[in-house]
Amino acid sequence: GDSVTQTEGQVALSEEDFLTIHCNYSASGYPALFWYVQYPGEGPQFLFRASRDKEKGSSRGFEATYDKGTTSFHLRKASVQESDSAVYYCALGPYQGGRALIFGTGTTVSVSP
């Protein structure tokens, strides 16, 4: 079945460091790709999405580009802040025939001042 793989389980950074979280997917169709962010005590918040090959999604300084060739949607931010400490989820869907989001296992990002 369809799946999402996030390579990094935990990432520790200092403020102003560059962040990359790798996300690869496997899907039989042509899904939309999403990034969600979850802060402590809250539910996942929608960050942004991309729906077609080479489309770039972005929000709050984060960005990712849909790459159908490498089946990837890597999250990047040039300069992180302590307030970016959170869990980040890559997800795919919904697409024709299904309505569920399929999530990766999440990446915990800790940014120290």
Partner 1 sequence: DTTVKQNPRYKLARVGKPVNLICSQTMNHDTMYWYQKKPNQAPKLLLFYYDKILNREADTFEKFQSSRPNNSFCSLYIGSAGLEYSAMYLCASSRTGRTQYFGPGTRLLVL
Closest to partner 1 by CB, 19 or 102: 102
Number of chain positions touching partner 1 (CB under 8 A) = 22
Closest to partner 1 by CB, 34 or 66: 34
Question: Of the candidates 10, 14, 39, 11, which has an alpha carbon nearest to the alpha carbon of residue 112?
Answer: 14
Shortest distance, CB of residue 45 to partner 1, whole angstroms?
A: 7
Q: Please say whether the beta carbons of 16 and 33 come within 8 A.
A: no
Placement of tokens 């869990």 in the chain: 87
Shortest distance, CB of residue 18 to partner 1, whole angstroms?
A: 26
Footprint on residues 9-68 left by partner 1 (CB under 8 A): 9, 34, 36, 41-46, 49
Q: Please say whether the beta carbons of 71 and 58 come within 8 A.
A: no
Question: Of the candidates 73, 65, 58, 76, which has an alpha carbon nearest to the alpha carbon of residue 11?
Answer: 76
Contacts of 1 (CB under 8 A, 6+ apart): none
Q: Can you tell me which of 4, 13, 80, 92 binds partner 1, judged by CB under 8 A?
A: 4
| Sites of contact with partner 1 (CB under 8 A) | 4, 9, 34, 36, 41-46, 49, 89, 94-95, 99-106
